Amino acid sequence: MSKNTQRLPSKYNPHDVEKDRYKFWVDGKFFEATGDKEKEPFTIVIPPPNVTGKLHLGHAWDTTMQDTIARMKRMQGYDVLWLPGMDHAGIATQAKVEEKLQAEGKSRHDLGREKFLQVAWEWKEEYAQFIRNQWEKLGLGVDYSRERFTLDEGLSKAVRDVFVTLYEKGLIYRGEYIINWDPQTKTALSDIEVIYKETNGQFYHLRYPIKDSEETIHIATTRPETMLGDTAVAVHPDDERYKHLIGKTVVLPIVGREIEIVADESVDMEFGSGAVKITPAHDANDFEIGNRHGLERILVMNEDGTMNENAGKYAGMDRFECRKQIVKDLEAQGVLFKIEDHVHQVGYSERSGAVVEPYLSTQWFVKMKPLAEAAIKMQQSSEKVHFFPERFERIYLHWLENIRDWCISRQLWWGHRIPAWYHKETNEIYVGREAPEDIENWEQDEDVLDTWFSSALWPFSTMGWPDEDAVDFQRYFPTDVLVTGYDIIFFWVARMIFQSKEFTGRRPFKDVLIHGLIRDAEGRKMSKSLGNGVDPMDVIDKYGADSLRYFLLTGSTPGQDLRFQWEKVEATWNFANKIWNASRFALMNLEGFTYDDIDLTGDLSLADKWILTRLNETIEHVTRNTDKYEFGEAGRNLYNFIWDDFCDWYIEMAKIPLYGDDEVKKQTTRSVLAHVLDQILRMLHPFMPFITEEIWQKLPHEGESITVAQWPVVQEQFHNEKAAAEMERLVSIIKSVRNIRAEVDTPISKEITMLIQCENNDIVKELENERHYLERFCNPGKLVIAEEVNVPEKAMSAVVTGAQIYLPLEGLIDIDKEIARLEKELEKWTKEVERVQKKLANENFVNKAPQAIVDEERAKEKDYLDKQAKVKARLAELKA
């Protein structure tokens, strides 16, 4: 089925091009995985965006890369599944919903758990639709029939299954430990949800009195308010300064509690005073020391960061208020004797920004070591996950090697509720996939799981697992490539790998492509507070999705950050417009021409042979680089092929037959034009889906949509080195002539005769065959091509390999200027000759360098010597 051609407007308008196109694709089900057994599956799962807001440029970047891969693979004949979905994003979403409630003067507690969750689900639906609309505008070819959400029934089942299994294996446990507490959102956090920032603080030096003694012991702290919970002072057992105090008792100032001085090797004698106050309920190290010495744990804060009843008169005060007050009080008592300014690392909550409090609390944990070890070991096997760029593998491994247990319980409502029940009377714990039968006697754990606990299962939970016979899981897992930013390697990539290894025995993806961050034009991170964020939808409104996509794909190299610059998007628009107009030209010349009319077996012109050769090279290059995820490299290569080779040379050369009246030649040229443009559009389609589909539909084509057209393959029969060499000579001649013309101020009259003196008769014949090109591009009055030409006295000249060009320009030529120009040229060739000869004179080079390189240099030497001699001779003539 072939279609006839249509006309295009003279300017590329992305709105017209993109309008309704996505609907056409979705309605045509071009993006749906077919399960076709004839085809090999190729799978990508989208990193599920949070349902908290709109997508930003980072998402646009990330998903565009996936779309590019998916589209190419689809065209290469794979059964592509690109599975979309979203993440419930526990803390983030709950915070947004609470914010919304607050605006209405309500809190989540006013609503109660059930009602609150209902509101959250409504929120989710609303934002999910925003996100889908944005995917649409970006042109992402995802399979909506398989869209998933982390709180879906199926995924929740997977979560419960994983939790219960790990619990049964002893890899999940519940216990009272020091965790990172966010007093603002009132939940525990995992280690990586804490961001450490250098913060100006103070170092407070205290003297704790020794009981029944005049002596005091000097300790220093950055968090004096925690002293209310001190239950010991620790020194190093070998510390001569304090040896005699070990076992003695300290009377804790203000509190009056008597606490022991203990010896512990973990104390650093060099740091501070060498004596440490021990607060097991508010510091991870102190907690460990406390365990070793059987110390009491006294919690002095509430969940909201205010002091509790154990803080005595400070009860009810905010922790930082308390700090101020306690400093005053200690100072008054003479306990505090020095305050130093101190820059130290303070942990902040990734979500709320609140200062994280190390806090004693009962939480659920994943025992990481066995899981991490298995994942590390997998990297030595054939199930290795390949990182692109490779260096991120080291970062990943380093993290796993030093991993600590993962605190997975969160004091939130929005999320997967922990499948643990506590017996109301016996306090017995039940962990199971389903609630206990005598549910009235049990109470379920109030907490939910860390969002990342469910995202860690994403590559398989979305495909029907834990049902291992699920059709999609069987066919599409493991996935082929994951695309994500380096900022979530720990949060997500690593966790998917170890969970996948543990539960499926396989890697979750073969490759992982890591990209950087999007920055503003000045290189700053885009952030709300700076107000320097750019909405991808604004970019699309202005320049179209294709321009945005191409900019994102080619703007950086894997693993590097990307600066957003409007000028670059604009430059990409120019490129799109170029393609648009080249296509417009093609359509104007393909009136009545159909896909079936394409016939490349005819008598091809030099231009035809050359462009087909270049097309082959481009196909090879673009395919290879896209396969390696080198989109920048592939995109630039395509850009150069399209703009420089196809538009600037091929189309211009094709105008000769197209505007001529030889119908046979015209048909051949139309065939090549239609074919090359078709192949270009196909290769460009993964990068710029909209414009390519639009043009392709209008060109002679076969098939319903370019999305399912076959990816171009190299056609060896069109590889023609001779044509490439001839073209090179031709281009050199044309450029030389243009060059000469640029030297002459006044326009050159058409009366001029252009003379080309060739080295041998073969070249004469060759150039005679290509005469029409020379006539069109150089536009001389007369063109003489011969082995010997009569060189007029007043002429400008140029040398190319195998030939010498003369342009007699009586009256226009300034002999002195021409001499100066030629002298410059002579200098250039002389330099080249020297460089090459020096190289060839080096025995080591000739003996050790690869033969091909040496031969190449020898050929250059010959060529340069020849040119040098010709220029020299011409100079002599002029000077005579």
Q: Is 628 in the site for RNA (CB under 7 A)?
A: no
Query: Quick count: other Cβ atoms within 10 Å of Cβ 182?
Result: 28
Q: Could you tell me if 481 and 510 are in contact, meaning their C-beta atoms sit under 8 angstroms apart?
A: yes
Which one among 380, 382, 402, 601 touches RNA, defined by CB under 7 A? 402
Query: Binding to RNA (CB under 7 A): which residues in 651-680?
Result: 651-652, 655, 659
Site string for RNA, 859-878 (x = CB under 7 A): -x---x--------------
Site string for RNA, 822-841 (x = CB under 7 A): ----------x--xx--x--
Q: Could you tell me if 339 and 205 are in contact, meaning their C-beta atoms sit under 8 angstroms apart?
A: yes
Site string for RNA, 450-489 (x = CB under 7 A): ----------------------------------------
Query: Binding to RNA (CB under 7 A): which residues in 635-654?
Result: 636, 639, 643, 647-648, 651-652
SS (H, E, C) 457-512: CHHHHCCCCCCCCCHHHHHHCCEEEEEEEHHHHHHHHHHHHHHHHHHHCCCCEEEE
Specify the residue, 417 or 729, whose C-beta has the smaller distance to RNA. 729
CB of 601 to RNA, least distance (A): 26
CB of 739 to RNA, least distance (A): 5
CA pair distance 762, 113, nearest whole angstrom: 89
Phi/psi of residue 835, each to 5°? Answer: -60, -50
374 residue type, one letter: A
Query: How far from each other are the two terminal CA atoms of the chain, in whole angstroms?
Result: 70
**How distant is the alpha carbon of residue 206 from its chain centre?**
51
CA pair distance 709, 422, nearest whole angstrom: 59
DSSP 153-187: HHHHHHHHHHHHHHHHTT-EEEEEEEEEEETTTTE
CB of 235 to RNA, least distance (A): 9
Specify the residue, 284 or 764, whose C-beta has the smaller distance to RNA. 284
Q: Fill in the DSSP letter of residue 354.
A: P
Binding span for RNA by CB under 7 A among 72-80, 178-186, 720-728, 736-744: 736-744
Q: The tokens of 95 are what? A: 């915070």
Q: The tokens of 321 are what? A: 């208020």
- The backbone region for 755, taken as left when phi is positive above 0, alpha when psi lies in -120 to 50, beta otherwise, is beta
Q: How many residues bind RNA (CB under 7 A)?
A: 87
Specify the residue, 835 or 872, whose C-beta has the smaller distance to RNA. 835
CA pair distance 643, 648, nearest whole angstrom: 6
Please classify residue 531 by burial: count the beta carbons closer than 10 Å to its beta carbon, then call 0-12 exposed, 13-18 middle and 19+ buried.
exposed
Which one among 67, 79, 511, 633 touches RNA, defined by CB under 7 A? 633
CB of 64 to RNA, least distance (A): 16
CA pair distance 669, 600, nearest whole angstrom: 9
Q: Fill in the DSSP letter of residue 188.
A: E
CB of 53 to RNA, least distance (A): 21
Query: Binding to RNA (CB under 7 A): which residues in 505-544?
Result: 519, 523, 543
Query: Binding to RNA (CB under 7 A): which residues in 228-267?
Result: 266-267
DSSP 855-874: HHHHHHHHHHHHHHHHHHHH
CB of 823 to RNA, least distance (A): 15
616 residue type, one letter: N
Please classify residue 795 by burial: count the beta carbons closer than 10 Å to its beta carbon, then call 0-12 exposed, 13-18 middle and 19+ buried.
buried
Binding span for RNA by CB under 7 A among 120-128, 317-325, 584-592, 593-601: 584-592
Query: Binding to RNA (CB under 7 A): which residues in 339-398?
Result: 344-345, 391, 394-395, 398
Query: Binding to RNA (CB under 7 A): which residues in 552-571?
Result: 555-557, 559-561, 563, 565, 567-568, 570-571
CB of 744 to RNA, least distance (A): 10
Site string for RNA, 693-732 (x = CB under 7 A): ----------------------------------------
Site string for RNA, 161-200 (x = CB under 7 A): ------------------------------xx---x----
Q: Is 581 in the site for RNA (CB under 7 A)?
A: yes
Specify the residue, 322 or 431, whose C-beta has the smaller distance to RNA. 322
Which one among 130, 348, 422, 845 touches RNA, defined by CB under 7 A? 845
Closest CA to 205 of 41, 318, 330: 330
Which one among 2, 4, 6, 11 touches RNA, defined by CB under 7 A? 11
CA pair distance 308, 735, nearest whole angstrom: 85
CB of 785 to RNA, least distance (A): 21
